[in-house]
Amino acid sequence: MRASTRREFVAGPAGRIECAVDAPQGEARGRALVAHPHPQFGGTLDNKVVQTLARAFVDLGYEAWRPNFRGIGESEGSYDEGRGEVDDLFAVYEKTHPSMLAGFSFGAAMQAMLAKRVHGERLVLVGVAVTNFDVPRVPAGTLVIHGERDETIPLAAVLDWARPQELPVTVVPEADHFFHRKLHVLRTIASRCSG
């Protein structure tokens, strides 16, 4: 499916939240909310991993919402160490009622935290930042994808987080944190989701 992208703004607790919205051709079967990596280290809604996830969901017929966290792009406010960022995701969640929650790195950790507030959504977590944040347990059935050679969040740390939950981790061989030259593999894995 070919997507069209538009910009929308959602009222958030620190001001307006800028979102890129990727729409499938025809009527969407639901919505996916995709969160970007750490805003203090260059993370934005235009991150290539985030765009790859959004394209995978559009291919499945979902409308994909990619918000900029506070202080990034045209989103108002300033970085709040994860607390306000989860509140921002919740504001977009309340407007869109997504059936899929996805995130990359910092965004994956924030989505795991959001999942504690909401129920029933499918989670797709890529390169989840378990070494930087106290990432809570996630629902059974969560899809966790990680690069074998991730230099930012070691695979061993993710396995340590997943093990007590009996949560499978899909490992992409040779992939680094940003999935350089492996985005096509990531897209294929994410495209196997169904909400």
pLDDT at 195 over 80: no
Query: Inter-axis angle of helices 106-114 and 83-96, to 10 degrees?
Result: 60
Q: What is the pTM of this model?
A: 0.96
Domains of the chain, CATH where assigned: 4-190 (3.40.50.1820)
DSSP string, 37-58: S-GGGT--TT-HHHHHHHHHHH
pLDDT at 119 over 90: no
Order of all β-strands in the sheet with 169-172: 4-12, 15-23, 62-67, 30-35, 100-104, 122-126, 143-147, 169-172
Q: d(Cα 122, Cα 172) in Å, to the nearest integer?
A: 20
Average pLDDT, the chain: 96
pLDDT higher than threshold 90 for residue 2: no
pLDDT, position 192? 87
Spatial separation of the C-alpha atoms in residues 186 and 21, rounded to whole Å: 20
* Digit-coded pLDDT (tens) for 65-74: 999 999 999 9
**C-alpha 19, offset from chain centre:** 13
Residue type at 45 in one-letter notation? L
Q: Range with the lowest mean pLDDT among 90-94, 162-166, 181-185, 191-195?
A: 191-195
**pLDDT at residue 1 above 70?**
no
The band of 194, judged by pLDDT with boundaries at 50, 70 and 90, is low
Query: How many residues does this entry show for the chain?
Result: 195
For residue 160, pLDDT beyond 90:
yes
pLDDT reading at 19 higher than 60: yes
